[in-house]
Amino acid sequence: MVRKDGCYLYGILPEGEAEKILSEYGMMEKKSSKWRKLIKDPEDERKVKVSVEDVLSILREESPSIDLDKLSEVVEKYCGDVYLLRASSYRIVPPSPDIPLGILYLSRVLRRYGLAGTIVRMKGRKGRGDKYVLLAANICRVDYAFYSLAAKPRKDLKVECPCDAKIEDGCMVVIDRESLGLLDA
């Protein structure tokens, strides 16, 4: 650590602990290097298009907290392109009627699968940035920047509405069939 006056401060650690820290640091560097291979040639430095297979292969070695089988199933069934988004480059947006239905639907499906499902919008462009749905937040760290795994819905995604909504006598009525367990009935 460097003090304000330029002096270096050193901490003295027991031999075993220092080795542990060094090995942890080495592990982190090793992990970063795998991700760096994916992010080395970003089309836009804030957003990198990746293949799901590459991401899954790295994640399988890392043993993360997310269910990788569910993730691969969801991506195959519902998602189009998959991206790594730098965490500082997007903003979380709540579900709203102004968001395309495909994005809303993907978000709901991901939540049902126990994945993140957060809708995000890229910063800049005066609030009209591209919208994505997060599959997993802060999945990796490369050069002090965290990246999240996000996706766009498939172009041919069929939106199957889990709720009934209609206008009756000037009022809106919504029945959430999924929560009421009426979806299969």
Partner 1 sequence: MHIGRLIEVCEKRVERIVKASRIYPELVNRASRPLSRLRLLKALKEVVEEVEVELPNGCRRIWHPYPPEAVSLIRKINEAVKKNGLRVSFFNVWLNNEKAYVSVRDEETGYTVYAVTCSSGQPDLLGEPDMEWRGLRIYSLDKIREYFERCIKYVESLYPNTNYYRDAVREVQSIIESLGRYVGVIRLSYDQLRYFKGYEIVVEPELIDRGLGSSRSSK
Tokens (6 digits) for 153: 């819905």
Among 4-12, 28-36, 84-92, 164-172, which window interacts with partner 1 (CB under 8 A)? Answer: 164-172
- Is 167 near partner 1 (CB under 8 A)? yes
Residue 158's Cα: distance from chain center in Å?
A: 22
Nearer to partner 1 by Cβ, of 21 and 163: the residue is: 163
CB-CB neighbours of 60 under 10 Å:
10
CA distance 149 to 35: 12
Burial 98-115 (b: 16+ CB within 10 A, else e): ebeebbbbbbbbbeebeb
- Is 171 near partner 1 (CB under 8 A)? yes
Q: How far is the CB of 128 from partner 1 (least distance, A)?
A: 17
Q: How far is the CB of 118 from partner 1 (least distance, A)?
A: 13
- Is 164 near partner 1 (CB under 8 A)? yes
Catalog residues that contact partner 1 under the rule CB under 8 A: 95-99, 101, 104-105, 107-108, 159, 161-167, 170-172, 174, 176, 179
